Structure 1
Amino acid sequence: MTPPHLAPSTPAASPAPGAAVPVHALRRSAVRLGAVWGLTRLLQVALVAGLFGRVGEEINGEVHRIYFHWYGQLVTGSFPLDDVMWQYPPGAALVILSPALLPGLSYFQAFVALTLVVDAVVAVALARAGGPASGTRTRAGAWVWVAGLPLLMHLPLVRYDVQVTALAVLSLLALLASRGRPVLGGALAAVGALVKVWPALALLGTPRGRTTRAAWGSAVASAAVLLGVLALAFSHTFDFLRQQGNRGVQIESLGGTLLALARLTGLPREGAYRVEYRYGAIEFVGPHVSTVAQASLLLTAFAFCWLLLWRVRARRWHAATVCDAALCAVQLFVVTSRVISPQYMIWLIGLAAVCLTVRQTTQRPVALLLLAAAAVSTLAYPLAYGEVSASTAYGCLLMVVRNGLLLAAALYSCRRLWRSSVGAPAVP
């Protein structure tokens, strides 16, 4: 027998899945991530400040005009009354009022600064969740957030969707924690739902049993408490509900793309389509628009039924099921909506980032499609929004490509989620 000290040497094997990653490698990864975050956010702030010229200058107007106007009404203790632009749940008031935390800055400056802070919190949370020793986690999710958000230029800094997405991301990360924190996850999802509804879908994929009861129970209790506080603190708390039913078909939605193609080809013969600024968006006006809007609502109802069917039929939960289901659900509601605003891409990037913190996710190719859709979305808004509004050939091409990517991602997401949790398990 060969003595141990004379045994032939063998090449060092790569770390096995689950093996601890060297500390210095983790530090280098964190430094690179922080450097990219700092550089990209500096460029986004430069765009907001107009240092590169008036690129998408109208993007900033929403904070200057609409948010600041709402702020002036909310500080009086009343929600906007009979304002068709106010279409959000009462929790949105917390975000609109938040710039008051930085009294030394203008409203616009404070809003951008707080958005950057929330953005950094999400990046750190994703990096920590994808961190150290466990081979079941990866920092790919943090990279998707850090590098994916700038694809939308400076839009994320001047919309409150980063704050909403942060609540959904943190809710999912609480549910994904090693010991699980369903009560915290449910509470965060409830707060997010009272700000912009869709974060409630973060709880769709919670495992059956104790986790679901704790998360959903916490969400209901938290929503009831916060809603009660807001109802006591403000008047006209539920006025926003009146503005939702009158929404039309936005030019960037899937239905809007069909109408834009009809407009481009000169159809229909009954009369020409035109666009108008209504309810905070550019919407189509003309024949068959109401039919397209009703079809969108029916598709949304069908998507909801499919999600319920998935929930009933699902039998296998793995580490990433809860975040995979959340991403799938939000995609379905986005693609079937009468409105697809460019800031909706922030939601999808955030949820895709959470999925990619877990190696077992089924949504990795879906995340790549969403990043491509985000890049094309920026070409449409703000860079070529005039072309999109006029339904030119180039504008229609951008919308067909962007919405085609979103539709493909949603359908692929459904297929992969179903096969991972409902279909027959794969043969090793």
Structure 2
Amino acid sequence: MPRRAGGPALSAPGRPAALARPGAGTPDRSARRLWAWWLVSRAVLVTLVVTDQAFGMQQSVLGDLHIYAEWGRGLSRGEGMPTGDDRWQYPPGAAVVFVLPDVTHAYLGLPYRAVFVGMMVAVDAVLTAALVRRSVPAAGFWVAGLTALGPVALARFDLLPAAAAVAAVLALAAGRFGRAGFHLAAGALLKIWPVLLLIALSRPPLRSPGRSASIDPPPDPPPGRPTGRFPAPSPDWLRLAAGVLCAVGGLAALFALTGWWRDAFGFLGAQQARGLQVEAVAATPFVVAHMLGHGTAPGYSYGSLQFDTPLARGVATACSLTEIVVIAISALWWWGWARPPAAADGAGRAGVLVGRTLALLLVVVVTARVLSPQYLVWIMALVAVWIAMARPAGSGGLTVPAGGPAAPVPAGGPSWRWVALLLICVVLSQVVYPWRYNDVVQGRIMMSLVLVVRNVGLVTVCGWAWRAAAGSRPA
């Protein structure tokens, strides 16, 4: 390998080998250690799912898997969407996820549970590999975060939309806008939240890596051309839209062939009819009141334990309105008035996009009527890819948390201070569910306080994410 005098090894003219590509400077030994930890941690998670409550969990994580299997059997037999079941609250693409293990069971005789968990482990492995290629620290956060969440991560299908969102961001960073649109739409057809990536995109046309993006207003058009605030769509936008249409069209064709198109959007009514789930942030006052012996105990409805009093429903409605207002104002600002941040490359712009999307997603989570623990998979996926998108600051950037020591972190990425707080919230979520959930439902003081601390932590992370998104600039 040629060297400059007194300088590091070069893999390209004028560029150190460590900076030749993202993640190139990370020793292979770190990646091997990470994969070893992945194997051990996933073996533990699979064991906890398979053995269920053998190790003392108060709640079984297999309840939803039994429901998925029931829906999968009905769909494979041509019974259509189970919209008559008030537990059906998923976009139409989820039907494909539920049917695949049932079809595998029918042809190969494998148990539904084994096929489903195997699918989730495979998706997790692919997502981890994609992060490792970009950034070992980002992959390390992801592996640690999913381990901290516990067995529920493999007993739900939220890994699929999370992986789709990460794939969309990585594709945008690489300038592959058609693929980004496809992944974004695929994720939104499984769970709606990946559409927040589209809302977080800024107004001007996307620009592929290698083309400069300016914060200056565009020059005046030549005489005879129409003027207007918004420029004509760029080829990048058209490719993004084409990718979205491919995903939507593919699912529509499948639904037309199977007859599943009837009541494909019936899940929307079930979402609006729900009360406040016990774990929802907005339910915190009701949890405290129940702990102190006041109010009513939560009851089972719509597939979860929730507070269903008129006051709880009123709070749930107010939270939904707050969520809509925040998303609408953000979309109007980012698409109508805000200037896009300057960025040197696709990774920098993708990092800004992820920061904005994460801030919106945290608002959705903390104001939601329901806050199931698997929702934290969405948040951790965006944090991981945000860390991966943040570019190294030359010889190593430093983010200095207020009141604390400096910690190495890629420039433009999230502060390790609130990343650590997020991991604490994830651990507390696993303690609450599935290990000690009955204690919370029964109003016992210790676990009720653990849930309160978790909720306060999530609100704090949400505030920090908005501060980071508001001030985010690619390095």
Structure 1 residue 246, shift from structure 2 partner:
0.7
Determine the C-alpha separation between the residues in 1 that align with 2:300 and 2:247.
Answer: 33
Please say if residues 191 and 223 of structure 1, whose CA atoms lie closer than 8 Å, have aligned partners that are also in contact: yes
Please say if residues 161 and 346 of structure 1, whose CA atoms lie closer than 8 Å, have aligned partners that are also in contact: yes
Please say if residues 297 and 441 of structure 2, whose CA atoms lie closer than 8 Å, have aligned partners that are also in contact: no
Tell me which moved more, 63-72 or 346-355: 63-72
Q: Structure 1 residues 75 and 128 mapped into 2: Cα distance closer, same or farther (>3 Å)?
A: same
Alignment of 1:95-174 (within 5 A): 95-99=97-101, 100-101=103-104, 103-130=108-135, 139-174=136-171
Using the aligned pairs only, state the percent identity: 32
Structure 1 residue 13, shift from structure 2 partner:
7.8
Counterpart of 2:134 in structure 1: which amino acid?
A
Q: Structure 1 residues 370 and 282 mapped into 2: Cα distance closer, same or farther (>3 Å)?
A: same
Aligned length: 400
Q: Structure 1 residues 307 and 56 mapped into 2: Cα distance closer, same or farther (>3 Å)?
A: farther
Tell me which moved more, 53-62 or 366-375: 53-62
Determine the C-alpha separation between the residues in 1 that align with 2:266 and 2:251.
Answer: 14
Determine the C-alpha separation between the residues in 1 that align with 2:245 and 2:313.
Answer: 38
Q: What SS class does the counterpart of residue 282 from structure 1 fall into?
A: strand
Please say if residues 355 and 363 of structure 1, whose CA atoms lie closer than 8 Å, have aligned partners that are also in contact: yes
Q: What SS class does the counterpart of residue 357 from structure 1 fall into?
A: helix
In structure 1, the residue matched to 2:90 is 88
In structure 2, the residue matched to 1:298 is 321
Deviations 1:75-113 (A, max 9, x none): 023111311011111100111122234724211011111
In structure 1, the residue matched to 2:50 is 49
Q: Choose the corresponding residue for 1:354, options 377, 382, 385.
A: 385
Q: Choose the corresponding residue for 1:316, options 336, 341, 362.
A: 341
In structure 1, the residue matched to 2:399 is none
Determine the C-alpha separation between the residues in 1 that align with 2:120 and 2:77.
Answer: 24
Determine the C-alpha separation between the residues in 2 that align with 1:347 and 1:408.
Answer: 17
Determine the C-alpha separation between the residues in 2 that align with 1:81 and 1:302.
Answer: 28
In structure 2, the residue matched to 1:136 is none
Q: Structure 1 residues 71 and 52 mapped into 2: Cα distance closer, same or farther (>3 Å)?
A: closer
In structure 2, the residue matched to 1:325 is 356
Q: What SS class does the counterpart of residue 154 from structure 2 fall into?
A: helix
Q: Choose the corresponding residue for 2:424, options 372, 379, 383.
A: 372
Determine the C-alpha separation between the residues in 2 that align with 1:354 and 1:323.
Answer: 8
Determine the C-alpha separation between the residues in 2 that align with 1:290 and 1:224.
Answer: 34
In structure 2, the residue matched to 1:397 is 449
Please say if residues 52 and 60 of structure 2, whose CA atoms lie closer than 8 Å, have aligned partners that are also in contact: no
Counterpart of 1:255 in structure 2: which amino acid?
A
Counterpart of 2:355 in structure 1: which amino acid?
D
Deviations 1:155-187 (A, max 9, x none): 11111011121111111111122xx11111111
Q: Structure 1 residues 163 and 105 mapped into 2: Cα distance closer, same or farther (>3 Å)?
A: same
Tell me which moved more, 109-118 or 308-317: 308-317
Determine the C-alpha separation between the residues in 2 that align with 1:215 and 1:45.
Answer: 39
Deviations 1:386-410 (A, max 9, x none): 1211233223211221111111111
Q: Structure 1 residues 317 and 98 mapped into 2: Cα distance closer, same or farther (>3 Å)?
A: farther
Matched, 1:335 2:330: no
Determine the C-alpha separation between the residues in 1 that align with 2:57 and 2:273.
Answer: 28
Please say if residues 376 and 426 of structure 2, whose CA atoms lie closer than 8 Å, have aligned partners that are also in contact: yes
Determine the C-alpha separation between the residues in 2 that align with 1:252 and 1:410.
Answer: 16
Determine the C-alpha separation between the residues in 1 that align with 2:355 and 2:26.
Answer: 28
Please say if residues 257 and 396 of structure 1, whose CA atoms lie closer than 8 Å, have aligned partners that are also in contact: no
Deviations 1:260-303 (A, max 9, x none): 12333455xxxx31211111111013351122112211221232
In structure 2, the residue matched to 1:276 is 299
Counterpart of 1:349 in structure 2: which amino acid?
M
Q: Structure 1 residues 58 and 385 mapped into 2: Cα distance closer, same or farther (>3 Å)?
A: closer
Q: Structure 1 residues 215 and 101 mapped into 2: Cα distance closer, same or farther (>3 Å)?
A: farther
Please say if residues 274 and 286 of structure 1, whose CA atoms lie closer than 8 Å, have aligned partners that are also in contact: no
Counterpart of 2:376 in structure 1: which amino acid?
M
Please say if residues 172 and 354 of structure 1, whose CA atoms lie closer than 8 Å, have aligned partners that are also in contact: yes
Alignment RMSD = 2.8
Structure 1: which 5+ runs fail to align? 1-8, 131-138
Q: Choose the corresponding residue for 1:410, options 445, 449, 462.
A: 462
- Give the TM-score normalised by the residue count of structure 1: 0.86
Please say if residues 203 and 216 of structure 1, whose CA atoms lie closer than 8 Å, have aligned partners that are also in contact: no
Counterpart of 2:322 in structure 1: which amino acid?
L
Matched, 1:285 2:315: no
Counterpart of 1:70 in structure 2: which amino acid?
W
Q: What SS class does the counterpart of residue 21 from structure 1 fall into?
A: helix
Tell me which moved more, 243-252 or 211-220: 211-220
Counterpart of 1:205 in structure 2: which amino acid?
A
Counterpart of 1:363 in structure 2: which amino acid?
P
Q: Structure 1 residues 104 and 34 mapped into 2: Cα distance closer, same or farther (>3 Å)?
A: farther
Determine the C-alpha separation between the residues in 2 that align with 1:337 and 1:398.
Answer: 19
Counterpart of 1:321 in structure 2: which amino acid?
V
Structure 1 residue 315, shift from structure 2 partner:
2.8
Tell me which moved more, 182-191 or 96-105: 96-105
Q: Structure 1 residues 53 and 264 mapped into 2: Cα distance closer, same or farther (>3 Å)?
A: closer
4+ aligned runs moved over 6 Å, structure 1: 12-15
- Give the TM-score normalised by the residue count of structure 2: 0.78
Structure 1 residue 362, shift from structure 2 partner:
3.6
Q: Structure 1 residues 305 and 18 mapped into 2: Cα distance closer, same or farther (>3 Å)?
A: farther
Determine the C-alpha separation between the residues in 1 that align with 2:462 and 2:250.
Answer: 32
Determine the C-alpha separation between the residues in 1 that align with 2:35 and 2:301.
Answer: 40
In structure 1, the residue matched to 2:226 is none
Q: Structure 1 residues 417 and 231 mapped into 2: Cα distance closer, same or farther (>3 Å)?
A: same
In structure 2, the residue matched to 1:255 is 282
Tell me which moved more, 255-264 or 273-282: 255-264
Structure 1 residue 201, shift from structure 2 partner:
1.5
Please say if residues 52 and 61 of structure 2, whose CA atoms lie closer than 8 Å, have aligned partners that are also in contact: no
Q: Structure 1 residues 358 and 210 mapped into 2: Cα distance closer, same or farther (>3 Å)?
A: closer
